[in-house]
Chain A
């Protein structure tokens, strides 16, 4: 035990004395989180639009006012004729043009029907889709409130409520996702690099000839990274809460348990990579290639798993991050207890065990 403590202290010294390691450990996670939280957002805010109001009556003015006060849209220009529409899109700033037909208000009153045309810049299809949906919703909402006394037969009116994330904030998705990405990359990459470094420097040989058992060596190497990764995870949760308002509705202890389990999973992956990689560079390369892209694409972090082709859906099952994200979201956003995420916990435990057994075997083999 005393031997082990001395070994762990040494490992901390390696970390704290290497500025690069410190930057990777503490700088990158914060930058990543802020980047994901701010830059990659699916929310619409202040989208530039133009309006062509051919009617300019009370109703169209009211709808225009509603659109602009929603916070989603920002008026760039009032257009005078159809000819300007093409031009203003070409300039690139405008994402959407709303066109009210002539005599909009009158027609609405007379026929109970009037046309508003929504033209969106679909060179960015997701944004175009969102903008037109938002516009549509605002117009519908206005009509329903205005003509509350109109009786439309057999009307079905869905009452939509967005559970767990009422305002559909993207950060609710990106904070657990970023945590999954950062923890797996840092834990796996840093452990594999630090173990391979000992091999490269020849100190691993000395350790193997010493009375330290191979599991002591491994525990000694990964313990500091476990501790630092937990600190990282806490930083992400706190930042997510303070900066993006992502709540922790469930038990903090359960959340930490999930996080620690996931970190152990990542560490065991790192040990596995270290038994394969011959140099620090290849350890880093393998960690990034094998973990970063699949984690981002297949874990449900950015793209919903249900929308993937079946093959990729099956593949996503072996992504540790998938189960972690599910569990973390359940605890943070839905506030559920351990009983609801036992499946995810079990799968992560199983994966950790498998990686550990394989890497211990491989680690021993390397001595031969």
Chain B
């Protein structure tokens, strides 16, 4: 993690839908190669925030820079620099593993030669070489999850956004999945992850906790546990929730 190298810079970011304030003056920085966790109950404003960061939504006011690009005016350019994986690990179930890879590589405009290399590399890494002609719908959930993640970073983005990437996956598979995340972060891809699994929060370098559209805490898991005198992130979360009531 390189503190001097900010990839996401957010200042007083506000998103309103009519009179409803979904995100209320968010301010934070995310650094290159960092794994940044974004926690909060449903409806806390996580999804709206991640959508603004991905260039899907235009903010109402504030400042937003993603990968050096302006979050208001350069939303289309931002899309080329980021990867995104949704909670459904959305792949095309009726296409084979190889067809999915080819499709997403094509969408991100990866040249054919590089695509071929990357495909082999990726299949080998995921141990899917023998399953390349299998339909995605026939893969176990854990494999789908890994494949979805690998496709989200197939174009070497600066940042990858993971929106609750471990829904419905058992803890062991989750742990293996995080090995992939660490590897990506190690290669310099910044990881921005929303989750409500507290064990996942422990894996993050830093976490921001959202409640009712505001960031109520932001620090490393260790510092947060110390501050709230808790043994786990679960405890931090409960105490925080109580203090905000």
Contacts and interface: CB of A to CB of B under 8 A. Distances in A.
Nearest to A368: B57
Interface in B90-140: 90-95, 99, 102-104, 106-109
Contact of B99 (A10, A207, A213, A367): A10
A84 interface: no
A195 B196 CA distance: 30
A160 B16 CA distance: 73
Contact of A6 (B84, B88, B107): B107
A50 B31 CA distance: 96
A32 B57 CA distance: 45
A212 B91 CA distance: 16
Interface string A1-42: 011011100100110011000000000000000000000000
A7 B90 contact: no
B6 interface: no
B56 interface: yes
A367 B54 CA distance: 12
Contact of A10 (B82, B92, B93): B92
Interface stretch (A66-74, A198-206, A231-239): A198-206
Interface residues of A, number: 24
A14 B107 contact: no
Given A3-B109, A211-B79, A368-B57, A205 B103 contact: no
A2 B106 CA distance: 7
Contacts of A13: 94-95, 99
A213 B75 CA distance: 12
Interface string B72-85: 00001001101011
Contacts of A207: 107
A78 interface: no
A190 to B, nearest CB: 15
A209 B79 contact: yes
Contact of B56 (A10, A209, A212): A209
Top 9 nearest A-B pairs (CB, nearest first) are A6-B106, A202-B88, A202-B90, A209-B84, A203-B90, A211-B80, A211-B79, A210-B107, A205-B86
Interface of B: 54-57, 76, 79-80, 82, 84-88, 90-95, 99, 102-104, 106-109, 161
Given A202-B87, A206-B84, 16 more contacts: A3-B106, A5-B106, A6-B106, A10-B99, A10-B103, A13-B99, A202-B88, A206-B86, A209-B55, A209-B79, A209-B82, A209-B84, A209-B161, A210-B79, A210-B104, A367-B56
Interface of A: 2-3, 5-7, 10, 13-14, 17-18, 201-203, 205-213, 367-368
